[in-house]
């Protein structure tokens, strides 16, 4: 990657949450770039092609896995970002897991149980569209949800969110020690841009299906969610599982930052195709000679 790309990524990467403040991050930021739509599309295409090459080596080497976690407010562009960034990657080596409200079976287990079932295999890229972080975000904003989680009453105390954040941080350290590279993306959209996108969904017939009345309800808790995200990022940002607070008011920029972060992470792994043994080389030579006849 170019040095300028790495410098831009550093602008949004959070590895130590101690001094993190969400107000310091502008949802409309584009790092000073003002590309045309065509130029942005070309840059994204180039990035996706390079990501595909790295993913091919990741798959062949079969040692590491990459987990990309996406969190955001409604209409921030999670689905579109995932679709565009992964558009050129071999689907055989990618899995996408959307996490909605837990099922009855899932509620009879700890909240990380269903997460473990969807972790990427070695050699794969795993995408979490929402994740275990919902358990310290939506449940913090709507504490009544905890009462439906079959937890013992004495465990639902004032420390439950601090405890969960501590557990999540430890869980991510464990995963990183097993060869799972973790990238966490908070697509940071402004309240004004969300309003604009909601109106598009209401007014455009082909986007009506994307809108739900519950979206407006959640919007009324905006301040609570922003406080929850700030607290969460402060408690769980680390070098082995960094957060990227990605400006999301401009979709083209959001997608470029996400693909750049994934490329950067894979480049650091020294990925390569497996070495071929002398026996295999001999077999390949024999096969070439046979096919040449």
More confident residue, 1 or 244: 244
Taking the C-alpha atoms of residue 42 and residue 39, their distance in angstroms, rounded to an integer, is: 5
Over residues 233-270, the pLDDT tens digits come to 999 999 999 999 999 999 999 999 999 999 999 999 99
pLDDT on residue 5: 62
Question: Is 24 or 283 the better-scoring residue by pLDDT?
Answer: 24
Q: What residues contact residue 273 under an 8 Å CB cut-off, 6+ apart?
A: 57, 60, 61
pTM given for the model: 0.93
**How many Å apart are CA 62 and CA 24, to the nearest integer?**
39
Lowest mean pLDDT among 4-8, 38-42, 171-175, 240-244: 4-8
CA–CA gap between residue 252 and residue 259 (Å, rounded)? 11
How many alpha carbons fall within 13 Å on the CB side of residue 235?
20
> Is 27's pLDDT higher than 60?
yes
pLDDT for 164 beyond 80: yes
- For residue 206, the model assigns a pLDDT of 83
Backbone angles phi, psi at 50, to 5 degrees: -70, -40
CA–CA dist 258, 68 (Å, integer): 9
Distance between CA atoms of 43 and 25, rounded to whole angstroms?
24
Give, rounded to a whole angstrom, the gap between the first and last alpha carbons of the chain: 44
- Measure the CA–CA gap between 241 and 147, rounded to whole angstroms: 30
Distance CA 146, CA 106 (A): 14
At 4 the pLDDT is: 60
The pLDDT of residue 110: 95
Query: What is 142-170 written as a DSSP string?
Result: -GGGGGGTT--GGGSSTTHHHHHHHHHHH
Contact status, residue 124 vs residue 60, Cβ threshold 8 Å: no
When pLDDT is averaged across residues 44-51 and rounded to a whole number, the result is 94
What pairing do the DSSP bridges indicate for beta strands 243-247 and 13-14? antiparallel
The conformational region for residue 24 under phi > 0 = left, psi -120 to 50 = alpha, else beta, is alpha
- The proportion of the chain whose per-residue pLDDT surpasses 90, expressed as a percent, equals 78
**Residues 135, 138, 139, 141, CA torsion sign:** positive
pLDDT in tens, 125-138: 999 999 999 999 99
Q: Write the DSSP assignment of 113-141 as a string of letters.
A: HHHHTTPPPTT-EEEEES-TTHHHHHHHH
C-beta atoms surrounding 224 within 10 Å: 14
């Amino acid at each position: 990657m170019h040095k300028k790309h790495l410098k831009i990524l550093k602008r949004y990467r959070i590895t130590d949450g101690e001094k993190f403040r969400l107000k310091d991050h502008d949802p409309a930021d584009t790092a000073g770039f003002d590309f045309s739509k065509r130029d942005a599309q070309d840059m994204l295409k180039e990035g996706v092609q390079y990501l595909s090459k790295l993913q091919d080596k990741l798959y062949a080497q079969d040692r590491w896995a990459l987990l990309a976690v996406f969190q955001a407010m409604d209409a921030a562009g999670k689905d579109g970002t995932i679709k565009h960034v992964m558009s050129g990657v071999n689907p055989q080596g990618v899995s996408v897991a959307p996490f909605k409200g837990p099922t009855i079976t899932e509620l009879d287990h700890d909240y990380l149980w269903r997460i473990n079932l969807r972790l990427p295999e070695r050699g794969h890229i795993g995408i979490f569209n929402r994740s275990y972080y919902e358990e310290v975000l939506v449940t913090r904003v709507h504490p009544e949800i905890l009462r439906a989680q079959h937890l013992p009453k004495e465990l639902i105390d004032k420390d439950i969110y601090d405890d969960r954040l501590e557990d999540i941080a430890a869980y991510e350290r464990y995963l990183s020690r097993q060869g799972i590279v973790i990238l966490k993306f908070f697509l940071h959209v402004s309240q004004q841009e969300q309003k604009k996108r909601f109106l598009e969904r209401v007014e455009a017939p082909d986007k009506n299906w994307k809108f739900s009345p519950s979206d407006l309800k959640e919007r009324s808790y905006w301040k609570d969610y922003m406080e929850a995200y700030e607290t969460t990022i402060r408690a769980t940002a680390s070098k082995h599982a960094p957060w990227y607070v990605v400006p999301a008011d401009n979709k083209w920029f959001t997608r470029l930052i996400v693909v750049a972060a994934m490329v950067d992470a894979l480049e650091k792994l020294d990925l390569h195709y497996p070495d071929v043994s002398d026996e295999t080389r001999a077999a390949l030579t024999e096969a070439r000679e046979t096919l040449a006849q």
